[in-house]
Amino acid sequence: MKKFLSSIISTVLLIASLPVVTANAEDKLTKEEFLDLVVSETEDFSDGGVFYGKDLKYDAIETENGEYQLIVYGIKQEYYTPNIKVSKEGMNCNSEDYLLASDAAFYSGVEIMVAPASNGNGVADFRFKAVCYVENVLPGFATPAKNIVEASLYKPYDVAQYIYPVITAGDTDGDGSITASDASNVLLAYAYSSTGKKLTLNMTQFDYNNDGIINSADSSAILEKYAELSTSK
């Protein structure tokens, strides 16, 4: 199926002379077709895919430019070094057919461009951006973001869903418990949004009172829950 799709997409992109895979072109790929083309089901990439990892998860989002961006997540912490660099064991890439920003080594949350290698068998003119996320690790190049609110300032989508394996109401830092730091994150988010900053946060985590708004009331409710849990121990 991948080889068949690869042939079709190669022809379409050559005719249209598109530099990237777009989501609004006349002969556009669907999200499912895009993922089928870039995700390999075999470790040797014999199906023509670009990324492989038996425990990895994948998603694709449509950017403002109408392009698909690949999101690779579910990467275990054991596969990253202190500078947040993901190893080849954590996420393997088809470096023979595609050129990557680095040789199968990525930084969590940092976008890279993927393009066909001139001497490989990759689909001609098939270019796209990819970003990977390590479980329970805030994104950043060399130095991670201080918190999920800061991380969300630079992404137009909910980052938490790709970082935290479990999303819990009020647990804004994803550490598995309700504490004062969770309330602080809510206040920080409220402060940013009050000054016009655009944030795409996980509403399950931040909108603790379920009123559709992230504000100081959510922070107060989280502190009340924290106090309740503290006194019950």
DSSP-assigned letters across all residues of 84-124:
-EEPTTTSEE-TTTEE-SSSS-EETT--EEEEE-TTS-SPT
Q: Does some domain include residue 22?
A: yes
Instruction: Determine the pLDDT at residue 218.
Output: 98
Q: Which of 107, 134, 161 is the last residue of a domain?
A: 134
Q: Does some domain include residue 197?
A: yes
Tell me the torsion sign for CA atoms 205, 211, 215, 219. Answer: negative
Q: Does some domain include residue 214?
A: yes
Shared domain for 6 and 103, answered yes or no, is yes
Burial of 26 (0-12, 13-18, 19+ CB in 10 A): exposed
Instruction: Determine the pLDDT at residue 21.
Output: 52
Weakly modelled stretches of the chain, pLDDT under 70: 1-27, 82-85, 101-105, 142, 233
Please state at what angle helix 216-231 crosses helix 180-194, rounded to 10 degrees: 180
Q: Which of 67, 100, 134 is the last residue of a domain?
A: 134
Q: Does some domain include residue 23?
A: yes
Q: Does some domain include residue 143?
A: no
pLDDT digits (tens, 9 = 90+) for 109-124: 888 889 888 877 777 7
- CATH at 199: 1.10.1330.10
Shared domain for 98 and 160, answered yes or no, is no
Shared domain for 12 and 117, answered yes or no, is yes
Instruction: Determine the pLDDT at residue 118.
Output: 81
Shared domain for 108 and 77, answered yes or no, is yes
Instruction: Determine the pLDDT at residue 100.
Output: 78
Q: Does some domain include residue 140?
A: no
Instruction: Determine the pLDDT at residue 83.
Output: 56
Whole-model pTM: value is 0.81
The count of structural domains within the chain is 2
Q: Does some domain include residue 142?
A: no
Instruction: Determine the pLDDT at residue 10.
Output: 43
Q: Show Cβ contacts of residue 226 under 8 Å, excluding neighbours closer than 6 positions.
A: 178, 179, 180, 182, 183
Domain carrying residue 206 = 148-231
Instruction: Determine the pLDDT at residue 15.
Output: 28
Q: Which of 134, 168, 203 is the last residue of a domain?
A: 134
Shared domain for 126 and 153, answered yes or no, is no
Shared domain for 123 and 167, answered yes or no, is no
Instruction: Determine the pLDDT at residue 107.
Output: 78
Q: Does some domain include residue 171?
A: yes
